[in-house]
Amino acid sequence: MIRGRVWKYGDHINTDLIIPGRYLDNYDLKHLASHAMEDVDVHFASEVHPGDIIIAGRNFGCGSSREQAPLALKAAGVAAVVVGSAARIFYRNAINVGLPIVICPEAGRMFEPGDTAEIDLAGGTLRNTRTGEGARFSPPPAFLLRILEDGGLVPHLRNRMEAGPRQ
């Protein structure tokens, strides 16, 4: 179960807004985290707490293939993003860096900033603890859940290589 305080944003939050190109000469995670969401919300990077959850609208992560976008959010402490819909490259990148991502069109309507969200990723349920309102979503396919459980594609593949070739 993922449980955290909600930050709420609208539709079409693109990768340039999540982490602007002007900071991408440096891949240090602290540097990326310190500029996360800067052009959409100047307070985010300084006020986000580990375990917080981003709830946003349609087409989240549209734009660049820059993996630094989900990395910046994860490094800033974000535990999950819940969105109305996600751009495909961002969706893949989020899972590959081990940032849980949930597609749930009702979420935007259900939450106010500062609410607490509870997510059961494998069970496909989302709940607002303040209002008690819940919603269902399609959980990611099992093979993607395994990547998330391992903490991303790198640890996932390392585990598989250490386990040796499959029979």
Partner 1 sequence: MTFAQKVLSRASGENACTGDIVNAKVDLAMSHENSALVLRSFREIGARRIWDPRKVVLLFDHRIPANTIKTAEGHKEVRTFARTEQLPNFYDLGEGICHQVLPEKGHVVPEMLVVGTDSHTTTYGALGAFATGIGATEMAAVWATGEIWMRVPETMRIHLRGKLPPHVWSKDVILHIIGSLGSDGADYKCVEFVGDAVSRMSIASRMVMSNMSIEMGAKVGICYPDRKTQDWLAPRTDRRWVLDPSYQAAAADEELEMDVEELEPQVACPHTVDNVVPVTKVEGLKIDQAVLGSCTNGRLEDLAAAEGVLRGNKVSKDVRFIVVPASREVYIEAAEKGILTSLARSGAVILNPGCGPCLGGHQGLLAAGERCISTTNRNFRGRMGSPDAEVYLASPETVAVSALKGAIADPRRP
Q: Which is nearer to partner 1, 50 or 141 (CB)?
A: 141
Q: How far is the CB of 127 from partner 1 (least distance, A)?
A: 27
Stretch that binds partner 1, among 2-10, 20-28, 99-107, 114-122 (CB under 8 A): 20-28
Q: What residues from 120 to 139 belong to the interface with partner 1 (CB under 8 A)? A: none
What CA–CA distances, in Å, run from 113 to 61, 88, 92?
20, 26, 26
Binding partner 1 (rule: CB under 8 A), the pick from 20, 77, 124, 139 is: 20
Q: How far is the CB of 56 from partner 1 (least distance, A)?
A: 13
The residues, ordered by sequence, that sit 6+ positions from 22 with a Cβ below 8 Å of its Cβ are none
Using CB under 8 A as the binding rule, the residues of this chain from 70 to 109 that contact partner 1 are: 85, 87-89, 92-93, 96-97
Q: How far apart are CA 117 and CA 132, in angstroms?
A: 10
Residues 110-116: contacts with CB under 8 Å, at least 24 apart = 110/135, 111/6, 111/8, 111/55, 112/6, 112/8, 113/6, 113/7, 113/8, 114/5, 114/6, 115/5, 115/6, 116/3, 116/4, 116/5, 116/6
* Cβ–Cβ < 8 Å for 72, 46: no
Near partner 1 by CB under 8 A: residue from 34, 58, 133, 145? 58
Min. distance of Cβ 156 from partner 1 in angstroms? Answer: 9
Q: How far is the CB of 93 from partner 1 (least distance, A)?
A: 4
Q: Provide the binding-site residues for partner 1, judged by CB under 8 A.
A: 12, 14, 16-17, 20-22, 24-27, 38-40, 58-59, 62-68, 85, 87-89, 92-93, 96-97, 141, 143, 152-154, 157-158, 161-162
